[in-house]
């Protein structure tokens, strides 16, 4: 990208060309997202003011952001934002970027959980998107968000404050349930755990494997190790007839079913995502 004084239309065209060269699928959409971030405007402004010239400072900043995206850095880390369940979340490289398929987990929890009061545990909370989305929809629910990463929890706290749920949502840095007393206290336990085998990380997209936190992607050699722990430990903390909901990866449905103790759990549903991939397990404690 070159000269000073480019118009909005020219800057977008060059940025989209740059991003297409590195095979970014939605190059123009991402270029627009970067420019709205630089200008502090919405997309309508870009259309209605397409012949306006960028200042030298705006052009320089825009070119720098496009270069970062062309090197593979996720758009969400560059802008610091990601939409999830109709809410805008702050995201940093300390947290996994919220995915559309994880909205299935929120939808399912809202469907099976009580309409009135409930106490929810969100394991591996990351940005806090799951717990915050739930509390935003259910004003009488309370939750605790758990994560090993203190840096991730700081992002989650900021998001909780932004969305006005911090009085009903606390955060704890720990490994699964390790700091909780072993007693039935939660109505729902929800989790989007790391479920990628360490050996499979090199096959992931560059923007995932090189930029998102490894701890949020893989539990190690056994991709289901944390899910197996959930299935064993969660009953100690769930109330009678409480629900456990968690996300799985491609091709993991059968192995997870084999790990479920039918004397403890009823499998209510395995919900599929928009690509028809089994994605969300919904279990109920017997």
pLDDT 10s digits, 134-185: 999 999 999 999 999 999 999 999 999 999 999 999 999 999 988 787 777 9
DSSP-assigned letters across all residues of 165-178: -GGGEEEEESSTTT
- Is 147 annotated as ligand-binding? yes
- Is 79 annotated as ligand-binding? no
Q: Where does 40-181 have alpha helices with state H?
A: 43-48, 56-70, 75-79, 103-112, 129-137, 150-162
Beta bridge partners of 272: 278
The per-residue pLDDT for range 215-248, each reduced to its tens digit, is: 999 999 999 999 999 999 999 999 999 999 999 9
pLDDT at 2 over 60: no
Of all residues in the chain, what percent carry a pLDDT higher than 70? 99
The per-residue pLDDT for range 9-34, each reduced to its tens digit, is: 999 999 999 999 999 999 999 999 99
Q: What is the mean pLDDT of residues 99-121?
A: 97
Is-contact 188 243, C-beta < 8 A? yes
Q: Catalogue the E-assigned strands of the chain.
A: 81-84, 87-90, 118-123, 141-147, 169-173, 186-191, 238-247, 265-272, 278-285
The per-residue pLDDT for range 171-195, each reduced to its tens digit, is: 999 999 887 877 779 999 999 999 9
**Smallest Cα–Cα separation from 9: which of 65, 43, 49, 55?**
49
Number of helices (H), then strands (E), in the chain:
12, 9
Dig out the tokens for 227 from the structure: 């899910």
- Is 18 annotated as ligand-binding? no
- Is 195 annotated as ligand-binding? yes
Q: At what angle do helices 103-112 and 129-137 cross, to 10 degrees?
A: 40
Is-contact 34 27, C-beta < 8 A? no
> Which domains are seen in the chain, by residue range?
8-71 (1.10.8.10), 90-285 (3.40.50.150)
Q: pTM above 0.85?
A: yes
Is-contact 284 242, C-beta < 8 A? yes
Q: How far apart are CA 12 and CA 32, in angstroms?
A: 7
How sure is the predictor about 4, in pLDDT bands with cuts at 50, 70 and 90? low
Q: How many CA atoms lie within 13 A of 121 on its CB side?
A: 29
The pLDDT value recorded for residue 5 is 80
Q: How far apart are CA 247 and CA 138, in angstroms?
A: 21
- Check residue 23 and give left, alpha or beta (phi > 0: left; psi -120 to 50: alpha): left
The per-residue pLDDT for range 67-106, each reduced to its tens digit, is: 999 999 999 999 999 999 999 999 999 999 999 999 999 9
- Is 126 annotated as ligand-binding? yes
């Amino acid at each position: 990208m070159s000269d000073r004084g480019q118009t909005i239309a020219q800057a977008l065209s060059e940025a989209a060309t740059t991003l297409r060269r590195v095979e970014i699928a939605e190059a123009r959409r991402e270029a627009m997202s970067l420019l709205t971030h630089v200008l502090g405007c919405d997309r309508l402004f870009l259309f209605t003011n397409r012949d306006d010239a960028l200042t030298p400072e705006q052009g320089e900043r825009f070119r720098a952001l496009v270069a970062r995206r062309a090197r593979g850095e996720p758009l969400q880390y560059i802008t610091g934002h990601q939409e999830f369940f109709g809410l805008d979340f702050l995201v940093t490289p300390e947290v996994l970027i919220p995915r559309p398929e994880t909205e299935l987990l929120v939808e399912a929890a809202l469907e099976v959980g009580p309409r009135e009061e409930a106490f929810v545990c969100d394991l591996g909370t990351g940005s806090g998107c799951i717990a915050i989305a739930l509390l935003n929809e259910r004003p009488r629910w309370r939750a605790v968000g758990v994560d090993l990463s203190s840096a991730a929890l700081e992002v989650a706290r900021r998001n909780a404050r932004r969305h006005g749920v911090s009085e009903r949502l606390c955060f704890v840095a720990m490994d699964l349930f390790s700091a909780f007393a072993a007693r039935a206290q939660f109505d729902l336990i929800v989790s989007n755990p790391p479920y990628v085998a360490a050996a499979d990380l090199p096959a992931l997209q560059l923007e995932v494997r090189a930029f998102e936190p490894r701890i949020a992607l893989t539990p190690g050699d056994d991709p289901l190790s944390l899910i197996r722990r959930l299935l064993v430990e969660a009953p100690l903390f769930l109330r009678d007839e409480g629900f456990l909901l968690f996300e799985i990866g491609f091709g993991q449905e059968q192995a997870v079913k084999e790990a479920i103790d039918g004397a403890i759990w009823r499998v209510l549903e395995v919900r599929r995502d928009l690509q028809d991939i089994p994605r969300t397990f919904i279990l109920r404690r017997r």
